[in-house]
Structure 1
Amino acid sequence: MNQGKDCPGMKKQTIFTPLRKKPFRTLFTAQVFSDTGNWFDIIALNLLVSYHWGMDIIANAAIDLAVAVPWVFLGPLLGVWADRLPRKQVMLICTLMRIGVVIGFIFAPNLPVLLALVFAKTVFAVMFDPARQGLFRQVVPEEELAEATALSQTCANATKIIGPAIGGLLMAIVAPKFVFMTEAVLYGIALLFLLRLPNVQPSAEEVKTEKNFWRELKEGIAHISKKRILVVAISLAALNLFFVFLYDAFYAPLTIALNLGQIGYGLVVSSFGIGAVAGSLIAGQWTSWKGNPLRMMCWSLLLAGAMVVVIGLGGMNIVHGSIVFWCAVCLIVGALGAGTSVPFGYLLQSETPPELMGRVFSVSNAMQGVMLLAAPMIGVAFGRAYGIGAVFAFSGVMLALTAIVYLIYTKKTNVRPTVS
């Protein structure tokens, strides 16, 4: 697709080009505050039940479960409503309700009430995100879709670092209620920007379609099944997530095995996050992968798998390196992760019409959520039997093998995007 590189008088597109248009700029700014709020209480809630309430790890696991279950079991159902209802209004209501839920955290007297509130907050997030994806599809021009997707992914990756870090820091110096009050303020700022969004009119397809809940749900699933490139991309993303979450909870014991200490743990985790942000920026600035996003996903996954094997060998005391070396390896893995997520997000957007975006996005999230529920427990069993290093090494090998299988398959079947 011509991006203006060869046309005199036209400015070269960059990752920031979509921000020139006010609707996307407003939506993106709302995402910054909303995403930060989403991640703000991750550490705070776990510190609350562990340190302030003195509960064991079962309470922490219960919080994780309360977050994961709605994505898996309610996501596809709520995705129908996200497509059916006016998207701006859905986002406004969900954000307003999350403000109320977060304020409820302050007054939660015990774990059952807290879990119910966490569950409710996640339900509103499950409704909010498909609506945002659908509106995103409507306000971003086709020729800027890759750059806008990369910028949105950069925001998601950055807030995963910034949100928990600030929330955890505040938790260490002030009472928990101030953390949750700050989170409510973040959602409040997001709400102000959402109010400024234009009222985007539904497409002709959305208007003329007769409303029937179960038929609408089947339409989203049918769209994926008919689009081979979406089936391949979603299954690849789900497998990627499964093998990543086999080891994702083991960074702390890994740094012990690598003799890096507590400071090393912070640096390693930060390196993954910084790499993900940098990778998203690079993917958005260099978009020649649009011609074959699946190939980009596979090669990124293959190289990331190789790096994860190196990390695993370090945990097995076979490969040795300084803190600088391990941070560099983790930085590369984070950047390569973005090399998978940005093309995947672009494929979901470019291969799905706006009227189906919420349903397709929700079904994709549900499939990945199943992996999120299954992988950690398998990783724990594997780690206890063979050691932390072996979990990383096995995951890396499987990531690389998965990438090779999909590379061969996509080459033989010539799976290509509709728009390139």
Structure 2
Amino acid sequence: MTNLQSVPGYRTLAAARVLSSTILWVDFTLVFSLLGYYWQADAATIGVASALYGLPGLLLGPFFGALADRVSPVAMLVVSYLARALTSLLLLFAPDIHLFVLLVFLKGLANLGAMPAEQVIVRMMLSKEQFVFNASIMTTIDQLTKICAPLVGAGMASLHHPMAGFGLSATLGLAGILCVYPLRKQVGMSKREEGGKQARRHLHALFLLARDNAVFRRAFVAAVSQTAILGLYDPLLALFLKEKGMPAATFGMIVSSTAAGAILGALIFKQVHAGSRHCTATIGLAGFGLTVAIPGLLAWAAIGMPVWLLLAFWVANGCFYGLTAMGFGVAMQQQCQLESIGTVSATARSVQLAALVLGPLAGAALAKPLGISLVFVLSGTIAIVIGGVLGRAPRTGMQPPLLKPPVEQERP
């Protein structure tokens, strides 16, 4: 059965995802807009705030994932919404920039519980066939809120009292608590009691699963590679556009184009996944590489590109990026056992964050000797090569010998 509307509690879960994504992007927009325009922070302070915002996910993500495997995911989601609401209220009344930056760290910490808890809930509520449809719906929700929520945050930041925007964030957090609380009827702990006892033995579940399951390994390597390659070239994008004489507004148009492309990817994901089965992530990685390498090659060869062509490349870029991300998400849900899904998802996220941190450092180092255009060519070429190698890898070890295959939850 693939009709998600008939799954008890799924609409509530989707509504919670809307609230969660909206809070994330409103907060992100407010934090960095206010640092620059309200607090008059310098570049170093903004850099510190950015690092503190992402540091909790990098260092503590796996611990929150393991916690999601041992406690009620609904309770964890409720606590996450409450923590987000409280940190928003504290940011609202921050008296100086130093405390504001400290609270940005707490805001990043408060965000950690939502993702692994949602992964556990999805794994418990849906069947193996429904994961593909869920990936399409959740990606569409995330990308639509990525387009709309920053506009709301920007509007709040432009008010006479811009800090009041955090009042909206706190209100959404409280609404999230009311939204997810009814899920306790559909998601209990009875079927996870054994998993809760075993959770401590699965702190290395990600590495065991990647070692013993070819389907997951292929998707995981593709997702991490794509994240690292994004970090390699993406911070240089504004300079790339400036070098080619593009107007300043082009950067914002590209950001919107990638979001639109990701929505397109969500719409076609079911068809692509059905046709490629376990190679969706690798196909997405290779296509992603093409959309980076070709503009870089054209720029290096001094071949002019109209703005519409550049935007078309980045619509395709967002589409392929989304296919890889959704392919990895489905592989994780289908191949990972229930009692370790929180640990695996959170640890995988931390690995991707680490790749995203190291990528810009490598990109900046390569830009000096090679030039920005060749960094784009190199980034895209690496993605194409890795995607091709993963796509040709033998399909052995479809089920991990050390981990039980996913158990379908019976419908009432």
Q: Is the shorter-chain TM-score for this pair beyond 0.5, marking a shared fold?
A: yes
Deviation by residue 1:17-54 (Cα, 9 ceiling, x = unmatched):
31343411100111011111111122322222222222
1:340, 1:61 → 2: CA distance?
Answer: 29
Given the two structures, how large is their TM-score scaled by the length of structure 2?
Answer: 0.89
Task: Return closer, same or farther for 1:303/1:366 CA change in 2, 3 Å cut-off.
Answer: same
Structure 2 partner of 1:297: 281
Identity %: 23
- SS across alignment from 1:41: helix
CA shift for structure 1 position 216: 4.2
Which of 354, 366, 385 is residue 401 of structure 1 equivalent to?
385
Structure 1 partner of 2:188: 201
Which of 269, 293, 318 is residue 309 of structure 1 equivalent to?
293
Q: Kindly indicate whether the alpha-carbon contact (under 8 Å) linking 1:310 and 1:319 is maintained by their aligned counterparts in 2.
A: no
Deviation by residue 1:66-119 (Cα, 9 ceiling, x = unmatched):
122212211111211111111111100110111000111122234442233222
Q: How much is the aligned-residue C-alpha RMSD, in angstroms?
A: 2.3
Deviation by residue 1:345-389 (Cα, 9 ceiling, x = unmatched):
100101112221101101111111110221122222323443332
Structure 1 partner of 2:54: 68
Q: Kindly indicate whether the alpha-carbon contact (under 8 Å) linking 1:130 and 1:359 is maintained by their aligned counterparts in 2.
A: yes
Which of 334, 343, 363 is residue 347 of structure 2 equivalent to?
363
2:12, 2:95 → 1: CA distance?
Answer: 37
Which of 88, 113, 116 is residue 74 of structure 2 equivalent to?
88
2:48, 2:318 → 1: CA distance?
Answer: 28
Given the two structures, how large is their TM-score scaled by the length of structure 1?
Answer: 0.88
CA shift for structure 1 position 137: 0.9
Deviation by residue 1:247-289 (Cα, 9 ceiling, x = unmatched):
2223322322232212222212211111111111221465414
Deviates more, 1:190-199 or 1:72-81: 190-199
2:388, 2:210 → 1: CA distance?
Answer: 23
Residue ranges of structure 2 left out of the alignment (5+ in a row): 400-404, 407-412
Structure 2 partner of 1:253: 239
- SS across alignment from 2:297: helix
1:39, 1:378 → 2: CA distance?
Answer: 27
Which of 318, 327, 333 is residue 349 of structure 1 equivalent to?
333
Q: Kindly indicate whether the alpha-carbon contact (under 8 Å) linking 1:301 and 1:336 is maintained by their aligned counterparts in 2.
A: yes
**Equivalent residue letter for 1:239:** S
CA shift for structure 1 position 317: 5.8
Residue ranges of structure 1 left out of the alignment (5+ in a row): 4-12
Q: Kindly indicate whether the alpha-carbon contact (under 8 Å) linking 1:309 and 1:393 is maintained by their aligned counterparts in 2.
A: yes
1:213, 1:135 → 2: CA distance?
Answer: 16
**Equivalent residue letter for 1:305:** G
1:157, 1:307 → 2: CA distance?
Answer: 19
**Equivalent residue letter for 2:268:** I
CA shift for structure 1 position 332: 0.9
**Equivalent residue letter for 1:292:** R
Task: Return closer, same or farther for 1:274/1:67 CA change in 2, 3 Å cut-off.
Answer: same
Structure 2 partner of 1:28: 14
1:43, 1:385 → 2: CA distance?
Answer: 34
The count of aligned residue pairs is 400
Task: Return closer, same or farther for 1:113/1:276 CA change in 2, 3 Å cut-off.
Answer: same
Which of 328, 336, 341 is residue 312 of structure 2 equivalent to?
328
CA shift for structure 1 position 174: 4.4
CA shift for structure 1 position 221: 4.5
Deviation by residue 1:364-415 (Cα, 9 ceiling, x = unmatched):
1111111022112222232344333222222111111111121222xx3446
